[in-house]
Structure formats: C-alpha cells, structure tokens
Structure 1
C-alpha cells in the first residue's frame, strides 16, 4: 500500500499558459511527454463503493493499463493523504494487493456487480520540482473533462504530489505559485466530482463539522484540528458561492470565518500572539466583504417577504419599497460574488493552511490539560456574557446586540469543547443557547431593518408610511420576544453548565 500525499489546486483554463511560464514550473525537470489519460470509475448499480468511500478506477495511458483503488481521507486546503493501491490491469480486477481488510472485503464481495459509472479524460503534463536535498514534488497539470450519463464537467487543475519531503514543502510551493497565479485549493477529488455528475447532485452549502476534540490532545493540536475544519467550511462555501447564487453559500462562508476568529480568541493563550493578530485581521477583513449581502438577504427574506406575501397593503408605496429592497439585495449579491476573488481567496487559504502546519508547540503547552483549559475558557466566556446581560437590563437595542454576540461566542466555545463534557448536558445547553440567540437575532434584525428602511424612505418621502407599515407588521412579535429575551438568557448564564464539575 502506498500513501498518496497531494495538494490539488484548480485554476481557470485561460491561466494555463501563465502557469507553464512560471519560473518554478518552467524550471522544473520535465518527465516525458504530455500524455492522455483515459480513466473509468466502477461501482455497483446501488453505489456500494461510494457509500463506503472507496474508489476503483482503471486507467489507460497509451498501451499501458493500470488498476487503482483509493480510500477517502480528510482533505483540507486541497491537501490530502489517501491510502492507494495501484497495479497493472489485464482486463480482470485483482484485489489481492489491497491490504486494508474492510476495503478488500467490500471489493471482493461486490466484484461481480461492478459496472462503469463515469469516465474522465484529460491531458497530463508532469514535471519534477526539487528545491532542496530530500525534497521532491511532482507537478502535474491536468486539463480535460469528466463524463457521466451524457453530462460533462471541465477539469483544469494542478496537482502537487509529494515524492519526498513534508506536507509543508507542498504548501510552501503552492503559496509561492499562488502569489501570481489564480489557484484555488480543492478538497473534492475527480472521483467525487464524477459521482456528483453521475447523480446530477447540485452543490450544497457546507455547515460546520462536529468538533474533533479528545481529552488526550494537546492545546496546539486541538486548535489545529478545529481550524482545519473551519478552513474546509470556508473553502467549500467559497467554491460553491462562485458557482451558485444561493445565498446560503455566502452565509456559511461568513459562519466559517466567524468561527475561526472565535477559535483564535479562545486558544489565544496557547498560540503565538503575532499569529493570532495577523489571522484575526485577515479573517475579519475577508468576512467584511460579504456582510452587506448577508444583511440584505436577511432583511428581504426574513422581514420583507412575509409582509409581501400577506398582501395587506393596497398602497403603491409598499411595492415600491419592496422593489428598492430587492434591487439592493441583488446588487449586494453581485458584489459578494465579485468580492470572492478566487485568486485572493485561494492564496489566503493556502497561507492559512501553511501557518497552521508551522504552528510551534512547547513542553508547557504539551503538558497543559485540554479539559481544564476548556473549563477556564468557557467560564471566561460566560462571565463576559453575564456582564453583557447586566448591561442590557434596560433592553436598549445596542446592548441586546452585544449580549447576542457574547452568547454566540459562548455557543461556539461549547460546540468546540463539547466532546470533552457529558454529551446530553452539552446538547441540552446548546439547544437552549440557540433558542436565546435566535430571539436576540430577530430583535437585532428588526432594529437594523428599521434603520435601513427609513434611510431608503428618507430619499423618497412618501415611502415613510410603507417603512412604518413593515416594522409595525413585525411589532407584536418584536414586543413579545423583547420581553422574554433576558428570561431566556438568564438560566444559561447563572444556571448549571455542562463544563462545571
């Protein structure tokens, strides 16, 4: 069995000439001629291999045929390490070399049912990059397409495969290339893309992963694992938003960035201060690019669309105000897509991944107990939320908003550290916390909407009545939730918490 360690980077086809001209690529040793690779992926009619995250492929390169079996493994920032078994193919499958017992049993059990599912055909150029003794990296430029049941999708990517050296060497090369090339790290393999095409599955927004923590982890490894999960969410939703205008991609992208910033603050005592400051700034600035689009989506979908559907007003002013809101929302969405800037986003993701790999540790951090650290940090977050609660006793909107932000940070902290504490208690606490956060979120949405609607109406005076009608329509619910906002939050901040022994 081999372990394939590679970094997958996508780029626009128009950028291929610039990639080939790049000094690091042009100066790397060319290995043979450009070749055409014809690949066929096999599965059972009910996709039993896909269900177990096993890929089976045959490849024809000229007169040479190969059989390859791969098992899925986590990929982050385009960097993956997968077990792989490759051998000559003579027209019949042979799984005797697969030394993963579960994968071998699966393949042998279904061998008679295997049929072609989809194919890929692409041209591959291969070069060997060796910047220092002991470091060898294959640079493979692939350009072609995936074909499945009459549908097709393009392939245009650079794969960096480690022959010798470390994962950091791959990331350093990728960061250098990304300084002048529009490279986007990709966690989706050709096989995964093929299955999506075969099943005609649309891209779906990626939500936050469950926490991966265990009590045995040291603080830096715990942070790194959680940060990689956040990076996967950021990357997947940035890629999705570039291809799909569904607003949830932008929302989940911003969630990923917020969670990463919260994670930096939470683990700050165990991390280099310059690392925390630098990446907090980068992530904050990136999230700010998409704030307007998300705010206007919430305004329209959550507050205006229900009023429009009711059709309560016969006045011409309300449809005009709704049209202004739709136009603003659509413009903000277009701006968000432009702000995605694949080149800039890809470069930032690669640099963040490299910085995570380079994070230092020391004996003091290694000796620190993760569960004790979690208790201290969650207690600190709860004390901060208590102060925000006490300041919000007059129900002033700005102070309720500050309490909402404090509860959000507490919620992220409980989600991150949740596996270290009793699962049922954590689940109950998070459910109550989410409910309180939703209440405060609605109040903030209405407060923000009132200001925005009035600013639009100020420019056209006869729209003021329409703006007042919209906020008044939500008035009863606003008043009801405003009265109970602190009642919902109080038990969370002074009652029993799952991390308290």
Structure 2
C-alpha cells in the first residue's frame, strides 16, 4: 500500500458502528455492496510460495477472476501483472495471461487448484470532500475471512486519496481519530487468510536490508529507512499482543532502536521540531518494551545458567517465581503500550511527518554516508579506549556506540558492495553480541538484587560478576579483531 495515497486502519465493531455519525461523513451518502472473494491455491501452497494471487471476486451479480504476481506476495493489489476477466469460480481459463511462461506454469497447476479461503464482507463507501480540490474515498469493510471452518473478523477502513496531497489524507485520518479509536493496520486479508488456512502460529519479523542507493538524496533515504522501520515494528505487533514468545518484543525493540538511530544519523538534515517531537516519543515506547525484554532474557537465558551453577540452592525457586511474575507484568505492559490510542496516533503522526519532510537539502546519499560512518566509527574507537579499564557503565556506552555504527552500516550497505563491508559488518556484529552478553550479565545482577535483596542473593550476584570478568578477554579479542579490518567507506 502506498501510504502517500492510501491508508488502511483497523477498528472494533463498536467503533465501526459510530463511523457514519462522524462529522466528516455526515454530509456524504454511502454506497454499499457485498463483496465475496475466494482465493485459490494448490494443497502445498505453490502459488503463495511463488508470490502469485489467484482470486475469484463477486461484486454485484457477476464474478471476475484475476491472477498475477505481486511485489511482496502479501498485498491484494501490489504489482499485479494481470487483471479482471469474467469467469466463474473453478473455471481456470488462463488464456488472457500475456506472459507465456507464466501462463504455462498456471495451466500446469490447474488440476491441483482448490479454494484456499474466502473473504466475505459488506463494503460501505463514502466520498469525502473536506475542502475544495480534495477528494477521498473512504470504504468500511465488515465481514469475515473463512478458511476450513475457521473465521476471522474483517473490520477495517481504507482511505484512498483521489485528489489533493498526502497531507490532506492524513488530516482526514487525524479528524477521524480525534473521535474514533483507529489503528494503522499493516496486515492484509491475504496474510490473515493464509495464516488461518495453515493454522500458522505467529512468526517474528526481522529487519530487511535497506533499499537505499547512491543516487538518491539523503532525505529520500531517511524516508525509505524510517518507513521500513515502521513496517518492521508493525510486523511484530500481533506477536507482542497475542503471544508470550520473547522474540516478538525483542524484534519490536530492534525496530524502534533502528528508527531512533536513523533519526540520530540524519539529525542535521531534519527539522528541529521533528526531532524534538518524535525522538522522545520513540524513546519512551522503547522503555516500555525494555523492561519486558530484560525479564525475558533473565528468565529464558540467565536463570537456567544460574540453576545449573547452583543446583542445590534454595533461592532458585524464589528467583524463578519472581522472574515469572515480573515477565507476566511487563508483557502485559508491553501489550498495553501497543494497543493504546497514543501508539496509534504516534504511528500516524510520524508517518505523516516523514512524508511531509521538506527536501531542502539535495545532498546525495553517497556524499552524506561516509561522514556519518566516520563519525560513528571515531566515537566507537574512543569508547573502546575507555572500556576495558572501565566499569559496566563504560561497557554499556561502548555497546551503544557499536550498535549505532552497525545500524549505520546496514542503512548504507548498498553504497559499499563487496567483501570488505561484509567482513567489517560481521566483525562489528560479533563484537556487539559479546558486549550484549556483558550487558545481560550487568542487568542480571540488578534484577537479582531486586528479586533477592541483601545477603540472600549475594552468592548468585557474585557468580554473575565472575562471569563478567571471564568474558572480558573475549571482548578485548573482538575489539582487536574489529580494529584490524579495513574501513570500507575509506576505500571508495
């Protein structure tokens, strides 16, 4: 979905019932239609694996078939190569497909095609004209996704900008959101349908490589990276809210850290008001997820090591019970944070602000990147000189410095292709992983003090501090290894 011209938002049935009474819609008369769409695939889901969508849709009295390859395999309309042709469900006539190889491939699967899932909803559409020259189509879909007896609710609105600017689209959403609880929805009916079909458990979403290139402006690169970070974050929302697996909170935090790093990298090119408004908000949200992540790591990684080191300790049960309680409390807090209206507004306001950023600096990315990388590498070297003789706080500052360098490397990676960058990046990752282990140990000392204050936890805390001392030589080796690697951006 192109967020500059189209937005999709989820809402509850109760909120949906109040939508038509909103002042923005009060003068518009809706049109309504019933839309039924059946998606087809093979039993082994060959179409989905090849990012192909085959659907039969009924609107009004007629059925239409469409088939095509998609840009991402999960969107209803992105990148389709073929479009609507009249046809009844189950009549697999692909003669209209212009791509011969694609057509032959589809025909070879015809005997195996079967209904995968069906979406059935009522669509109410309003044409909004909030001011002269601005026209926005708002569609409310209410119904179901049905797959092998399992049903999921469809309750969402789509806003499509027909004329006007992206700012007009977001202004309309802001007006709606002032009275209604709306949330930007990153999932699609196709994704939800396949998940229901296979009864898949939720899967954590990781960051994908930045789609930057040397010829784009630095500001355009920031937009690309910021929106990618939001997609990474929202990809893990369902897991944070519906699952207790720690990887979802971890990946959500990574997405926010990457986003905050991008804001810091581009700070000199961004409006001061933009940075001052949004950076603290993302920092606050990261903090709400941080406690959940700390206790997840303690419960799943640190506690088993403590139990193995002290198998007879009477304190293990107390420590475990306390950690489980804190995990549950902080997971609930993380869920609440991502289900709040404040979070929904932050997503929309930030997206609107990113798209509205002025292109006042036409500097190319390949001119901007080396200076940014050099600055972060220099800071990391300075932190390294302070770390080994320093304390846990110094090691934490070093970890943050290398993490920011690593994210910058990943943002600018397409500018420096080749083995030099790959080896430099791998070495930075190895160093950051070891520094992360040190940080986990330092955090574990603090959490153990909370769970077992005073003398009751002294032995365990002493053991954790001993693990830290044993890890320091590995940090020294990783630092030496990293510092010996050629710097890729200086070789250009």
More displaced 10-residue stretch of structure 1: 412-421 or 168-177: 168-177
Query: Compared with structure 1, are the counterparts of its residues 348 and 79 closer, same or farther at alpha carbon in structure 2 (3 Å cutoff)?
Result: farther
User: Which residue of structure 1 lines up, in the alignment, with residue 427 of structure 2?
Assistant: 432
2:395 to 390, 400, 415: 400
Partner Cα distance (1:395, 1:423) in 2: 36
Partner Cα distance (2:371, 2:13) in 1: 51
Q: Secondary structure at the match of 1:359?
A: coil
Aligned residues of 2:423 and 2:485 also touching (Cα < 8 A)? no
Pairwise CA distance, 1:79: 12
Cα deviations by residue, 1:229-256 (Å, 9 ceiling, x for unpaired): 1010111212331222222111111111
TM-score (norm 1): 0.89
Query: Compared with structure 1, are the counterparts of its residues 479 and 357 closer, same or farther at alpha carbon in structure 2 (3 Å cutoff)?
Result: same
User: Which residue of structure 2 lines up, in the alignment, with residue 8 of structure 1?
Assistant: 8
Query: Compared with structure 1, are the counterparts of its residues 382 and 75 closer, same or farther at alpha carbon in structure 2 (3 Å cutoff)?
Result: farther
User: Which residue of structure 1 lines up, in the alignment, with residue 373 of structure 2?
Assistant: 378
Unpaired runs of at least 5, structure 1: none
Superposition pairs for residues 336-375 of structure 1, below 5 Å? 336-362=334-360, 365-366=361-362, 368-375=363-370
1:409 to 404, 413, 424: 404
Count matched residues: 486
1:455 to 436, 441, 450: 450
Q: Secondary structure at the match of 1:228?
A: helix
Partner Cα distance (1:434, 1:81) in 2: 35
Aligned residues of 1:436 and 1:485 also touching (Cα < 8 A)? yes
Partner Cα distance (2:233, 2:331) in 1: 18
Q: Secondary structure at the match of 2:310?
A: coil
User: Which residue of structure 2 lines up, in the alignment, with residue 194 of structure 1?
Assistant: 193
Pairwise CA distance, 1:330: 1.5
Pairwise CA distance, 1:155: 0.9
Partner Cα distance (1:331, 1:430) in 2: 36
More displaced 10-residue stretch of structure 1: 247-256 or 175-184: 175-184
More displaced 10-residue stretch of structure 1: 396-405 or 236-245: 236-245
Aligned residues of 1:5 and 1:161 also touching (Cα < 8 A)? yes
Query: Compared with structure 1, are the counterparts of its residues 493 and 173 closer, same or farther at alpha carbon in structure 2 (3 Å cutoff)?
Result: farther
Aligned residues of 2:424 and 2:486 also touching (Cα < 8 A)? no
User: Which residue of structure 2 lines up, in the alignment, with residue 483 of structure 1?
Assistant: 473
User: Which residue of structure 2 lines up, in the alignment, with residue 125 of structure 1?
Assistant: 124
Pairwise CA distance, 1:456: 3.1
TM-score (norm 2): 0.90
Q: Secondary structure at the match of 1:339?
A: helix
User: Which residue of structure 1 lines up, in the alignment, with residue 302 of structure 2?
Assistant: 303
Pairwise CA distance, 1:337: 1.4
Pairwise CA distance, 1:137: 2.2
User: Which residue of structure 1 lines up, in the alignment, with residue 414 of structure 2?
Assistant: 419
Aligned residues of 2:24 and 2:130 also touching (Cα < 8 A)? no
User: Which residue of structure 2 lines up, in the alignment, with residue 172 of structure 1?
Assistant: 171
Cα deviations by residue, 1:90-132 (Å, 9 ceiling, x for unpaired): 5645556656777656545544543211111112211111224
User: Which residue of structure 1 lines up, in the alignment, with residue 70 of structure 2?
Assistant: 72
Aligned residues of 1:395 and 1:482 also touching (Cα < 8 A)? no
Partner Cα distance (1:318, 1:207) in 2: 34
Cα deviations by residue, 1:193-230 (Å, 9 ceiling, x for unpaired): 11121111122111111111111111111111111110
User: Which residue of structure 1 lines up, in the alignment, with residue 314 of structure 2?
Assistant: 316
More displaced 10-residue stretch of structure 1: 272-281 or 83-92: 83-92
More displaced 10-residue stretch of structure 1: 170-179 or 395-404: 170-179
1:468 to 420, 443, 458: 458
User: Which residue of structure 1 lines up, in the alignment, with residue 47 of structure 2?
Assistant: 49
Aligned residues of 1:181 and 1:343 also touching (Cα < 8 A)? no
Partner Cα distance (2:282, 2:100) in 1: 43
Pairwise CA distance, 1:173: 2.1
Partner Cα distance (1:103, 1:380) in 2: 49
Pairwise CA distance, 1:46: 3.2
Q: Secondary structure at the match of 2:20?
A: helix
Pairwise CA distance, 1:325: 1.9
- Across the aligned residues of Structure 1 and Structure 2, the Cα RMSD in angstroms comes to 2.7
Superposition pairs for residues 210-289 of structure 1, below 5 Å? 210-289=209-288
Superposition pairs for residues 128-167 of structure 1, below 5 Å? 128-167=127-166
More displaced 10-residue stretch of structure 1: 233-242 or 65-74: 65-74
- 2:466 is the counterpart of 1:499: no
Partner Cα distance (1:234, 1:79) in 2: 21
Pairwise CA distance, 1:414: 0.7
Aligned residues of 2:129 and 2:136 also touching (Cα < 8 A)? yes
Query: Compared with structure 1, are the counterparts of its residues 80 and 149 closer, same or farther at alpha carbon in structure 2 (3 Å cutoff)?
Result: closer
Aligned residues of 2:5 and 2:169 also touching (Cα < 8 A)? no
